[in-house]
Amino acid sequence: MIQFKRYVLVAMILLAVGATASAKLVQTKVYMFGMAASFNDSTAYFTDVQEVDAWINDKGKFLYSRENYSYQLRDYLQSQGFANATCITCFAFSRKKAEKKYATLLKKSAARGDANVRYLKESEFKYDAIVPEK
C-alpha cells in the first residue's frame, strides 16, 4: 500500500511538471505598482501604477519572473539610501483593478498610525520589462 502511494505521488509530480512545462509565455500590457517597507523603519514607499509590456504565463496568468520586478524596486531604494527594504510588486490586467489593489494596500499601510508613507513618481522610478530567455 505504501509503495502504491509513492507511485501515485510520483505520477502526480510528473503530471504537474509536464503541465507547467507546456505553458506558453505571452506578451501583454499589465498595470503594476510596488510597495516597500522595512521592519527597522516606519517608512513605506509606494510607486505609481505603471503600464508595463510584461510577459505572462498563459495557463496560470502569472507574471514571468515576478520576483525580479521587486528586486528592481529594492535596488533603486538601496541606491537612494533606504536599506533592508522588503518589496512587493502587485499587478493586474486592467488599470482599474490595479488601482483598487493599490488603494487597499495604501489603506492598510496608512491604518498604522506611525506609518510615514512616501510616493515614488514614475519619473523617479520606472519598472523595466523582464524579457524571457530563449
pLDDT at 8: 67
pLDDT at 4: 67
Residue 19 contacts residue 59 (beta carbons within 8 Å): yes
**Sequence-ordered list of residues with C-beta below 8 angstroms from that of 126, at least 6 positions apart, any chain:** 50
Q: In a structure prediction context, what are the per-residue pLDDT tens digits for the chain, which is 134 residues long?
A: 677 667 667 777 777 665 555 578 889 999 999 999 988 888 899 999 999 999 998 888 889 988 999 999 999 999 999 888 999 999 999 999 999 999 999 988 877 777 788 999 999 999 999 988 87
pLDDT at 101: 96
Give the Cα separation of 53 and 127 in Å (integer): 10
Cell of 121: 513618481
How many CB atoms are closer than 10 A to CB 34?
25
